[in-house]
């Protein structure tokens, strides 16, 4: 059993360092503590099968690869995450451009039908854009701290939609509410889940 612990420890350490990921970053991806990752890499314990599968997905290798010995010169298979990352960015861009294409189409359609510019459509497109960005970034993004900026932008864009929708009421006070909401968003992103040991 100690042999398999050492093999897994060496493989995790090698894959992690080659990908320039810290123990803390790997722990966050797995929802574990960095102490757990450190124990795995010191061969004091071994992750369970589901965690090994997650580690394999992160580094683009099979569980079998993690459980096998390899030569020092042997390079792991091409990382799947790096191969498909471009696709994720492209899909996100397609969604955002699609939202703005629809907004532009509606703008010209309403201008033609009503014979006046309905510029508010572009304001309404903002929260939809940020919702799409938040969904895609939450699914595929590596830098979770960017979600803070996306959520902040989403909140301000929703306030802008309300303000524009009720323009005749001149509800500028909404933006004061936005300041307190921004503080709440900031604090909620500072709260971190405690990792598993």
Domain ranges of the chain: 2-66, 82-190
* Dist. CA 8–CA 155, nearest whole Å: 44
Per the prediction, the chain carries an average pLDDT of 84
Residue 83: predicted pLDDT: 45
DSSP the chain: -HHHHHHHHHHHHHHHHHTT--HHHHHHHHTB-HHHHHHHHTTS----HHHHHHHHHHHT--HHHHTS---SSPPPPPPHHHHHHHHHHHHHHHHHHHHHHHHHHHHHHHHHHHSS--THHHHHHHHHHHHHHHHHHHHH-S-TTHHHHHHHHHHHHHHHHHHHHTGGG--TTHHHHHHHHHHHHHHHHH--PPPB-
What is the topology classification, in CATH, of domain 2-66? 434 Repressor (Amino-terminal Domain) (1.10.260)
The pLDDT score that the predictor gives to residue 84 is 47
Q: What's the predicted TM-score (pTM) here?
A: 0.54
pLDDT at 79 over 50: no
Question: Taking residues 148-176, what's their average pLDDT?
Answer: 91
For residues 73 and 37, the model is more confident at 37
C-beta separation of 28 from 36 below 8 A: no
User: Which two tokens mark 60?
Assistant: 């683009």
Predicted confidence at residue 150, as pLDDT, reads 92
């Amino acid at each position: 059993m100690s042999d398999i612990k050492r093999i897994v420890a060496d493989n995790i350490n090698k894959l992690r360092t080659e990908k320039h990921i810290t123990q803390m970053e790997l722990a966050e991806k797995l929802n574990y503590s960095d102490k757990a990752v450190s124990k795995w890499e010191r061969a004091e314990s071994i992750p369970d099968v589901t965690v090994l599968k997650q580690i394999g997905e992160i580094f683009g290798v099979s569980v079998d690869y993690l459980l096998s010995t390899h030569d020092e010169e042997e390079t792991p298979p091409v990382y799947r995450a790096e191969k498909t990352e471009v696709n994720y960015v492209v899909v996100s861009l397609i969604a955002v451009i699609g939202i703005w294409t629809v907004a532009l189409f509606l703008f010209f359609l309403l201008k033609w039908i009503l014979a006046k510019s309905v510029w508010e459509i572009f304001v309404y497109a903002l929260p939809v854009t940020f919702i799409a960005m938040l969904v895609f970034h939450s699914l595929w993004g590596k830098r979770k701290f960017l979600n803070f900026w996306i959520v902040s932008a989403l909140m301000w864009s929703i306030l802008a939609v309300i303000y524009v929708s009720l323009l005749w009421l001149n509800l500028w006070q909404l933006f004061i509410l936005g300041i307190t909401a921004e503080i709440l968003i900031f604090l909620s992103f500072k709260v971190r889940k405690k990792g598993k040991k």
